[in-house]
Structure 1
Amino acid sequence: MPDLVAGRWTIDPAHSEVTFAVRHLMTTVRGSFTEFTGEILVREDPLASTAAAEIAMASVDTRNAERDAHVRSADILDVARFPSMTFVSTHAERALIGRRARVPRYHVDGDLTIKGVTRPVRLLTEYHGVSTDPWGGTRAGFTATTSISRSDFGIEFNIPLQGDKVVLGDSIAVGLEIQAVLEDA
């Protein structure tokens, strides 16, 4: 990552996304969280860098108000008791997959906390480079993906269906599109 300079990079929420997808009945429901903050502290050795983010759970948006209200309820996210989810990185390394890919890939390990439960997660992260924006700022772009088990975080709500089927799948695909701005030194 030769063009990623050391310093404090702040996530620009207007140009970033936190998305998820979960099986619901026989289809996949997609949604996002619209309120979040975060920063990346890039070190001289980029693999020693750290990242942290906080996501407002009440900002969940699945494009259905009734479903969003249920997701916010004590049945699922319980946003009244647990208003935010957090991620704090613990380790980064070059991903062995895609070593010849045009986009550099890294594994970023960290602790994800949802509903007061902290579990380790591994993000597969792509670095898209750095550019100067029209206002003279310096921006970097990243994509990250992971999959988590909602039951690992105490999200057990479900409704049994015919046979061994249930309303909600346990696996949640998480996607991040991050644009970060270098703060003035």
Structure 2
Amino acid sequence: MPASAAAADKSKSARRRPATTVATGCCIDDATGCCIDDATGCCIDDAIGRWSIDALRSTLRVSVKVGLFATVHGTFADVTGHVDVAADPSRSRVEVAVATGSLSSGSSCVDALLHGAGVVDSARNPSISFVSRAIRAGAEAGTWFLDGLLATNGAVLDVTLEMSDPIATGGALLFRATGSLPSKEAVRLLSQQGVERVLGRTMGLDLTIVAVPGR
């Protein structure tokens, strides 16, 4: 094989090999410094910088036991904001805004309960914001703790979410972070007073963010 062809083949191989370094809070190829797209195995644009949250593909899911019902699952479908990816992951930053009126369980009866009974008081708390304060490496490689403030008009709470390395796919970055809140705290954040009496002990949180290069 001619030397030029061999060099080109070697370069292509380097761009497609599995990522081995987490240098920006994203999967990074050691040889090229590029973020590797999970769908194609190819390098996408440099991950460092601002990524805008795609509201059509991002969600905040919550789960909580309500009264005599089994655990109720709901999805907030209006999620906006941005992710600032830094070369040092600990300096990366996440800002998210969630419209509480976008909550849906997939059942009109359950939705009526959630909104009508004040489990989610979107009139008093029209939006939830999350602003990260720190990103810390977890005990296992590729895992992280995302510390931040979760806030509405009703309360401001410290929260820690667990997340894994984001996945680059289709030119976007996919982030997923999970955690939970004591129901008493969740009520302060979202609900009308007294609702905690009909809720289970905790509310689960599952934040999925699809982010595209910022404009």
State TM-score, norm by structure 2: 0.70
Deviations 1:55-90 (A, max 9, x none): 111111012224323423473332112100110000
More strand by share: 1
Q: 1:51 to 1:129 in 2, by over 3 A?
A: same
Secondary structure in 2 matching 1:72 = helix
User: Where does structure 1 differ by over 6 angstroms across 4 or more consecutive aligned residues?
Assistant: none
1:181 matched to which residue of 2? 212
* Greater relative CO, 1 or 2 (CA 8 Å, sep 6+): 1
Larger of the two Rg values belongs to structure? 2
Secondary structure in 1 matching 2:160 = strand
**Mapped pair 1:151 → 2:184:** yes
Superposition pairs of residues 98-113 of structure 1, within 5 angstroms: 98-99=140-141, 104-113=142-151
Q: What is the distance in 2 between the residues matched to 1:128 and 1:77?
A: 30
Deviates more, 1:116-125 or 1:11-20: 11-20
More helix by share: 2
Asked whether the equivalents of residues 57 and 72 of structure 1 are also in contact (C-alpha less than 8 Å), the reply is no
Deviates more, 1:147-156 or 1:83-92: 147-156
Deviations 1:122-173 (A, max 9, x none): 0101123324x2xxxx3111111000123124244155xxxxxxx4213011
**Count, aligned residues:** 167
State TM-score, norm by structure 1: 0.81
RMSD value, Cα: 2.0
- Structure 1's unaligned 5+ residue stretches are 160-166
1:140 matched to which residue of 2? 173
Q: What is the distance in 1 between the residues matched to 2:95 and 2:126?
A: 17
**Mapped pair 1:5 → 2:43:** no
